[in-house]
Amino acid sequence: MKALFLPRKTDSNNPADWLLIAGEELAGVKHLISEKIAYAMCASKLAEILEKTLKAELIRTGWQLIKIHDLVKLADELRSRDPLLADRVQALCESLAEKYIIGRYPGFDREEENWNEIRVQADEVAHFLSDIQGRIATKR
């Protein structure tokens, strides 16, 4: 699905803008996964997409944006607002948290490519993103 480009400045306090960027990135990552290209980057980018989606939901619930990339801490923040939703994404946050750093910086052992696992994780991120999009009225 091609994202509609809206020529305007984005706002870091607008949950819809976080989701817009996450959706565009997810489309690209899913394409790379389907072609089995750039495994480490796909895994790391999935973590970033999940981070953006978590932040969108947290901002929607009144959380004050802070510079944080720790998926587990973001899931903990979500837990205080919506324990059921946090439970749903906890394992995904834990799994992608490690991949986020490994794919971005040298100095870590790279894991064996597991395209089936990353495809499943991309689908889980996509479902979570879709659910959060449903909670947030997109500003136009």
Instruction: Tell me phi and psi for residue 18, to 5 degrees.
Output: -60, -40
30-79 pLDDT tens trace:
999 999 999 989 999 999 999 999 999 999 999 998 888 899 999 999 99
Residue 114 has pLDDT above 60, yes or no: yes
Residue pair 135/60 in contact (Cβ under 8 Å)? The answer is: yes
Q: What is the pLDDT of residue 140?
A: 39
